[in-house]
Structure 1
Amino acid sequence: MSKITIAIDAMGGDKAPDMVVAGMAQARILYPETRFLLFGDEACLNGLLDEHDALKPAVDLRHTDKSIAGDDKPSQALRRGRDSSMGLAIQAVKDGEADVAISAGNTGALMALAKFILRTMPGIDRPALISPVPTLKGESVVLDLGANVECDAGNLAQFAVMGSAYVRTVLGQSRPSVALLNVGVEELKGKDSIREAAELLRQADHLPIEFTGFVEGDGIMAGEADVIVTDGFTGNVALKTLEGTAKLLGQLIERAFRSSRSSKLGYLLSRQGFQSLRDHLDPNNHNGGVFLGLNGLVVKSHGGANANGFATAISTAIDMAGNDLIRLIREDLENIPHLDETLDGAEPVQSSAQAS
């Protein structure tokens, strides 16, 4: 793998910039050839870098006293955020100085700036936000997670291509399974756009994917498919529900173990297994949402990530850049039938059936 340069928004995130620099230091141990362009307040960052002697030689610090606040609207970011730490990190990708940009800051602002600066790649109508989620079988990815509230069949088919390319580069699966999130697995269930997208994917038989049809919400964490495709509204609700359920599960188990002396003893006997469960469900171990479909790579870290979580996002960025994710997406797009051609002369789509 050639040397990777990563542009980092040092000021984005609930625990920035301390968490950002600490995460970079962790990643530097695993990827000693990686270089960093670090954008943010120079006086603050120099003090943090002084605490990590092994990291300092790999960092090119670029000063800016402007940053995007967590409550800034995307329109505000576009008007005055180009020279912020977030905007400059994305611009470094545009200018060819960096292979990928990472920020734990405002998601809406990051998406708006990334689309404005990098533009959408040819063949993609709308970029999508993708993120890994823990499952019974290991890890799957879900997209879109909020970038597009409403999507047509062509959008969903493009998401499937981008998601499968991501899994091939980041998770190392040569032929990922792909499913469309739906209210049932039967062919007549769901909206017209979902069933039309299924027809597109069935005909794209030259793609390196295994399209398995529809999957219901309970199939996400069961690991029924490597790539789960849906619109941004549904995907965002599903992700937040999964995260809330994982947090609830951990709290309920902890409460149960503290309820009596015998349960405390049980915890001591099963502590190793319980810690393994917590690690598997910890969002920091699955961190690194990615905006796919742009002429450049941008990674969105969880705003509340710790240093380990930010290092995980850096690892995701290195995998994508090192395996040329954008080239894979462009090649795969050539093998998707055009929506008009696929549906031309096809049997009329029947009205949507109700969820069972």
Structure 2
Amino acid sequence: MIQKKPHIHVAHEIMSPTNAPTPLQTISTAIAVANKMGIPAHIALANSGVTLEDLQTPEKMKMVTHAHELTVFSNMLAACGDTSIGLRIGQALDIYAYGILGAAMLIAPTLGEALQCLLDFPLLQVSYFKQTLRVEGAMAVATASGYRYRPDLTVVNTDMCLASWYMQMSGVLGEPLDVKRLTFAYKERPTHETLYSNVFDCNADFNSLENAIYFPAKLLTAPLRRSNPTQYHMMRGYCEHIHREWAAQQIHDVTTQILLLFRSSLHRYGSLNAAAQALHMSPKTLSRRLRHVNSSFQNLLDHARRDLALEYLAHSTLSIGEIAQELGYAETTCFRRAFLRWTGQSPIYYRERLRKEKSHKL
């Protein structure tokens, strides 16, 4: 828990979780879903740092970050108010949406090996959770835990994760996965509760110990019809090569470096000049490099401020004025206006709502 006057250390973490790299494909899929829901692309992409041209030009399909994705998901939720968007995006992220990773999984010798391929290369998929697979007697259990992103998108991202797993396993098997039990860790039942049985052919249990899909363990070792062991190992090697390149890229990416600076001290590095000096480049060069990846210093600063504000309000005893100071605002009123723009709520109302929800659950 964040204590009063917190200091966030980053020496032993590669990056802030919101800046974990991810393929642009997820945003492309989300925009396709948004279109079917009647949400214009420019509304869904607003302030995300991703343009419609990026999605329409194949050679521009590049790595983005979870921060970009989270903005798109938030925009979609705000535009339609439909809390089932996570399920919808997850269903669209089937085995064929995963490119080389999906192709490798399709020709794996068994479902167990296909899932191991998925778990081994998290940068090649949608990964907002620590993903595990275990066997309990006759049941295999795929779990998603350790969510550390925006709390207002917890349900959206959990739904998306489990729905995409279901679609991928069904794609590998060539038939719908036989889900025996579906559990979610959050206590409140979503307004779209009835849709879970439509997607998973299984009712959902809430207020459980974990987010999980239970299915027959025998499916893990049964031979697959499309199995091609030789080609599978070749394609798995290619997935490993791409994953290694992307893992190295994330350390040197300029947006990663800036967000890590923000994570260490927004008060110190919250200006273009200070950040540029810390990265040993001129402000002009830094701005140019950010434009090259369709981002800007102000956009990254807004993302970092919003995410940290949500953390402070949920997990600290800092006053609103102290939070504003920690986020680098000269005036508390400026922070209040920014938070209202991000969430549609005042910071005081947001914190009080969280406290009431916690007391109600107790």
TM-score by length of 2: 0.25
Higher relative contact order (CA 8 A, sep 6+): 1
Bigger fraction of residues in strand: 1
Name the one with the larger helix percent. 2
- TM-score, normalisation: structure 1: 0.25
